[in-house]
Amino acid sequence: MARSFSDIVDAVEHRGEQFTIVRRGRAVAQLQPIPGGRGSEVKALLGRQPSDAGSPAP
């Protein structure tokens, strides 16, 4: 069932829920709380990831 991204992030942040992201019937990622995580740590982590802009669509 599709939900809004902000609802999912709220569920992770406030209720500790975990979500598996599925594309074409295959699990491709998980979204879960970071133990003791801080927003600045997450922002730094995302900043270290390569951009997928301009990548060819699968």
The dihedral built from the CA positions of residue 7, 24, 46 and 52, taken in this order, carries a sign that is negative
pLDDT at position 41, please? 77
Does any domain span residue 9?
yes
Token couple for 24: 């074409």
List the domain range (segments joined by +) for residue 17. 1-34
Task: Print pLDDT tens along the chain (58 aa).
Answer: 557 888 989 999 889 999 999 999 999 999 999 887 677 877 888 888 887 766 665 5
Give the total number of structural domains in the chain: 1
Does any domain span residue 40?
no
pLDDT at position 50, please? 83
The structure tokens 């951009």 sit at 51
